[in-house]
Amino acid sequence: MIITLMIVVFVLGYMAIALEHPIKVDKAASALLIGGICWVLFAFTGINHHDLTHEIQHHIVDIAEILFFLLAAMTIVELIDAHEGFAIITDKITTNKKVALMWILCTITFFFSAALDNLTTAIVMAALLSKLIKDKEDLWMFAGMVILSANAGGAWSPIGDITTIMLWIGGQVTASNIITSVFIPSLVCALVPLIYLSFRLKGSVTRPEKTEIKEHNIDPTTPFERNLVFYMGVGGLLFVPIFKTVTHLPPYVGMLLSLGVLWLVTEIIHRSKNHEQKSQLSVIGVLKKVDTTTIFFFLGILLAVAALQSAGQLDIVAIYLSNTFNGETSDGIYIINMIIGLLSSIVDNVPLVAGAMGMYPIAETSYYATDGMFWEFLAYCAGTGGSVLIIGSAAGVAVMGILKIDFIWYLKNISLLALMGYLAGAATYILMQ
């Protein structure tokens, strides 16, 4: 009875997360609620106190690694943004031609998201788009392609998407293998809709008037400071996979180390400035801008999935999928992962991947071993499948909120392009095996 109730709570909570905007309840609140309730219910299943403590402590260590990693990474990115570091790249974009501009922006987004993560990149690019494009229809079309490119770019990098971060930290994939195995399918996923649009887009975009653009009256940083923080920040993010490979320490240690170094440097270069200027450019000031609600959302959803795993429901789902689609064969793995990918367009990919990690333990050999085909293809499908609907990915939801994109408009104009890219990339991965 209690096990069934846990599932009901999870499903209802999930619906609340998916309907965040209509019901006007932040998804973080729903996630924390279902995470807490699921563990309370699990405590009444008859499990003894010692085993209960062991179960939650086991899961909380894994969850904490992900959250510490994310918090440090998000702080670094916010610090770069506070110093207007991204202007180093965006200021070089001068063309107004639609096709050329689309290729430039999508290329930047694709590779940025691999280094910075797709959510952050989407937010940065959305802010940029509003400075480059005036017409709403053009703005939304470019924004839709940015979402596709951000999700595709994040899928092949160990730090590009929360799902790949989870798989990397969990030991399901290694940094070098995820890059070499998923890069080409992800590139195809981004290129197919881009090439298709290149034959349809014509003319030039109209840029907003200077008076319409919010400009800073006083530049908060010098060019030297801007360059230093940008290159050190991006270098620090790219350093993490190397750090893990050399030291074999968890990735969050490398990310915290990168943040610590950047924190020290910014304290030194701003030590002579007044309190107001320093507060805007220091890590302490930047921490106020970090999206902590996202951290709480991941905490809640990962706790809920962990409770279901401990209660055994995920094992039941895993057995059902494996028996239905023969999960011990390559064809079965392709089908299971593509289903997960399409489901991630309806619901968030984080709990889907967390669920898959709970359902299928890492094996020493076979498709489920570290760097096994199941995990590689899961990284691709979960990362890119969310683009099919604008609510299917964190990047999509963020851009939707910033640029006020209509759900139905995205469905009519972008969803088919996203599906084309998703299927083309999946086919590419399968052909590469």
Give, to the nearest 10 degrees, the angle between helix 118-132 and helix 49-82.
30
- The rounded distance, in Å, linking the Cα atoms of 213 and 32 is 38
Tell me the chain's radius of gyration from C-alpha atoms: 22
Total structural domains within the chain: 1
Distance CA 70, CA 417 (A): 30
Quote the domain boundaries for residue 211.
2-432
How many CB atoms neighbour CB 160 within 10 A? 33
How far is 180 from 378, CA to CA, in rounded Å? 15
Q: What is the pLDDT of residue 211?
A: 47
**Residue 372 pLDDT greater than 50, yes or no:** yes
* CA distances for 170 relative to 9, 158, 183, 188, 357, angstroms: 26, 11, 20, 27, 8
The amino acid occupying position 33 is L
Out of 162-171, 398-407, 410-419, least confident range: 398-407
CA atoms within 13 A on the CB side of 358: 26
Quote the CA–CA distance of 213 and 130 in Å, as a whole number. Answer: 9
- Render pLDDT for 14-44 as a digit per residue (tens, 0 to 9): 788 777 778 888 888 988 999 999 999 999 8
For the chain, what is the mean pLDDT?
85
Residue type, 262: L
Work out the average pLDDT over 255-265: 94
Sorting pLDDT into bands at 50, 70 and 90, what band is 216?
very low
For the cut 60, the answer to whether the pLDDT of residue 265 exceeds it is yes
Question: 47-77 pLDDT, tens per residue?
Answer: 888 889 988 988 898 888 888 888 888 888 8
